[in-house]
Amino acid sequence: MAWKTDKFQKRSGESEIGTIRKQWKGRIKVALIYPNTYHVGMSNLGFQTVYYLLNKIEHVVCERAFLPEDSRPGANRTITIESGSPVAAFDIIAFSVSFENDFPNLLTIIEKAGLPLRSSNRENSHPLVIAVGVAFFSNPEPVAPFIDCFLIGEAEAILPRFFDAALPDLLNQNKISCLKTLARNVPGTYVPAFYNVTYNSDGTLRAFEPTADVPVKIERRYLKDLAQVSTCSAILTKDTTFDSTFLIEVGRGCPHGCRFCSTGFVYRPPRFRPFSLIEKCLKQGASMTDEIGLVGAAVSDLPDINKLCDQRFEKDVRISFSSLRADAISPELLSVLKKSKVKTATIAPDAGSERMRKVINKGITEEDILHAAENLVAEGIPNLKLYFMVGLPTETMDDVEAIVTLCKQIKHRFLKSSRARKRIGEITVSLHSFVPKPFTPFQWVAMDDMHSLKAKIKKIKHGLKRVANVRVHADIPRWAYIQALLSRGDRKVSQILSLANKNRGNWPKTLKASPINPDFYVLRERSEDELLPWDFIDHGINKSFLKLEYKKAMQGKTSPPCPMESCNICGVCKENSKDKE
């Protein structure tokens, strides 16, 4: 092929270990795109997993592309890392998206590829544009007009079946015929063009109905048994957040049921890999690098995690964890952290007061948090990172002040242990604005307004301003507002995205000029009987279960963790009797 790579593409490809290059002839050509920079995309294990899975399919060749570094109009055409080919030259453009705030970049990339933005305006000669990723497990509707079809589910459970059906002969058909065949024969395939959305006079949804012979609801596909496949880094490169760290996914979902967290609901049932499989991944990683990262929403809940202490490598290998639950830091786990010379450990109290932790069903006490901080420092881990949220449902200024108080208490315990070791580290407090997410018990609540969020952040910063060795970082409430808009919006939000694209990402200008009021999606409390934009997706969770959890939250009542065995509590295990793979 005559296409030439630019300097960045060439430099990136040359610095990688594990790049896959396949011949194009006779294969379906897929341009897999992460809608952010190379640095961000290659730090994402889900993106790497899709790349690896697609290239395992014999009749598929998959190459990667990213958001061009220069976002100016006409700058940096979108080309692939492996061959430097324009993405428009591929049969399929596949977006892998984990975060809603990357939705605007989808439009930027489609435009830079020289394609019409809207699916309805693209011809049969254009590549098929599909989208995968956890962001679409929850709500694909804000970007529905721009995508030909979404694959709703975990990559291992849906990609092989999709590409068994998406053979070259099918892709050469009329686009509508091709999409109908896929929608009818591949469970989890959602084609927005085959569904009609109508609205009530007040702007809420009236109906969401198929217009063709396709499923009324889209079942999220998932892998029942994670022992079937390992999920770890396909490519190593220094140009990532983790700098040549070999990432291993230990499990999916979380049994604890924190009411704000979509991961604990859209990945139900929670599943862990057997340690024997993780052990194989550890050895694979150790043969490639000396940095290994264990990732998952509940890493410290991994059965047999204490066996990490027994691992022996031919060289010094450092093992790190994405985050730790304060009530699950065992002596054995501390030993692994110490042996790995971990410098910073992360725990997430999420709320400062005991009352708020009950509202969100966090399931840890103040003493759990203080004890964890004390033990981590005592074992030679000098720095702590603490995650908190502001703007949670029912939160008062007393609850906000409790974050300051708890941080000071942690600092006291931290200092006590640090002095014993004659080394004082640093505490980093990370503040995040709460965003209500689909398929959680808080999907009906209104988001806190930006003025309130800024006031709460200011109060915490002021309260910790003079506390030595404590730094406070906070997100920007405006970006949280946009995330809420993109998380909770319906198809009409696509008009706001189009306007933002026209304004080159100038969101203040966009929100001010939009004929659609974004507050309707962000700051409005939903009624429990309202048809929600994402209700057509079937995760197996009973809506009555989410409503009950919402009511318990408002009453300050907690719920036990998921038993991770067949039960009838949320509905997923009942659905589990169906074939989900």
User: Residue 451 is part of a domain; what is its CATH number?
Assistant: 3.80.30.20
Confirm whether 45 is domain-assigned.
yes
Q: Is residue 111 domain-shared with residue 46, that is, in the same domain?
A: yes
pLDDT confidence of residue 415? 85
Q: Is residue 57 domain-shared with residue 153, that is, in the same domain?
A: yes
Q: Is residue 170 domain-shared with residue 142, that is, in the same domain?
A: yes
In 3-state terms, what secondary structure has residue 504?
A: coil
Q: Residue 411 contacts by C-beta under 8 Å, 6 or more apart in sequence?
A: 427, 467, 469, 470
Would you say 75 and 8 are in contact if contact means Cβ atoms under 8 Å apart?
A: no
Q: Is residue 240 domain-shared with residue 367, that is, in the same domain?
A: yes
pLDDT confidence of residue 77? 76
Q: Is residue 209 domain-shared with residue 239, that is, in the same domain?
A: no
pLDDT confidence of residue 578? 46
Domain boundary among 201, 219, 237: 219
Would you say 386 and 347 are in contact if contact means Cβ atoms under 8 Å apart?
A: yes
pLDDT confidence of residue 239? 87
* Cβ density class 283-295: b for 16+ within 10 Å, e for less: eebbeebebbbbb
Q: Is residue 87 domain-shared with residue 230, that is, in the same domain?
A: no
C-alpha 284/C-alpha 576 separation (Å) is 32
Confirm whether 317 is domain-assigned.
yes
Would you say 475 and 99 are in contact if contact means Cβ atoms under 8 Å apart?
A: no
Would you say 171 and 128 are in contact if contact means Cβ atoms under 8 Å apart?
A: yes
Confirm whether 403 is domain-assigned.
yes
Q: Residue 157 contacts by C-beta under 8 Å, 6 or more apart in sequence?
A: 188, 221, 222, 223, 580, 581
pLDDT confidence of residue 375? 92
pLDDT confidence of residue 516? 97
**Predicted TM-score (pTM) above 0.85:** yes
* Cβ density class 494-507: b for 16+ within 10 Å, e for less: bebbbbbbeeeeeb
Q: Residue 125 contacts by C-beta under 8 Å, 6 or more apart in sequence?
A: none
How many structural domains does the chain have? 2
pLDDT confidence of residue 166? 83
pLDDT confidence of residue 3? 41
Confirm whether 354 is domain-assigned.
yes
> What CATH number does the domain containing 142 carry?
3.40.50
Domain boundary among 219, 246, 272: 219
The one-character DSSP state at 86 is B
User: What are the residue ranges of helices labelled H in 274-343?
Assistant: 275-286, 331-339
CA 59 to chain centroid: 29
Confirm whether 511 is domain-assigned.
no
Would you say 98 and 24 are in contact if contact means Cβ atoms under 8 Å apart?
A: no
Q: Is residue 326 domain-shared with residue 271, that is, in the same domain?
A: yes
Confirm whether 524 is domain-assigned.
no
List, for residues 382-400, the tens digit of each pLDDT value: 999 999 999 999 999 999 9
In 3-state terms, what secondary structure has residue 118?
A: coil
Beta bridge partners of 33: 65, 95
Q: What residue ranges of the chain have pLDDT lower than 70?
A: 1-13, 70-76, 313-314, 575-581
Q: Is residue 192 domain-shared with residue 234, that is, in the same domain?
A: no
Q: Is residue 348 domain-shared with residue 428, that is, in the same domain?
A: yes
Domain boundary among 190, 219, 248: 219
Would you say 222 and 580 are in contact if contact means Cβ atoms under 8 Å apart?
A: yes
Q: Is residue 206 domain-shared with residue 277, that is, in the same domain?
A: no
Q: Residue 483 belongs to what domain range?
A: 226-488+540-575
* Side-chain-facing half-sphere of 58: CA atoms under 13 Å: 0
Positive or negative, the Cα torsion across 286, 288, 289, 292?
A: negative
List, for residues 506-531, the tens digit of each pLDDT value: 999 999 999 999 999 999 999 999 99
Confirm whether 515 is domain-assigned.
no
Q: Is residue 276 domain-shared with residue 204, that is, in the same domain?
A: no
Confirm whether 367 is domain-assigned.
yes
Q: Is residue 59 domain-shared with residue 120, that is, in the same domain?
A: yes
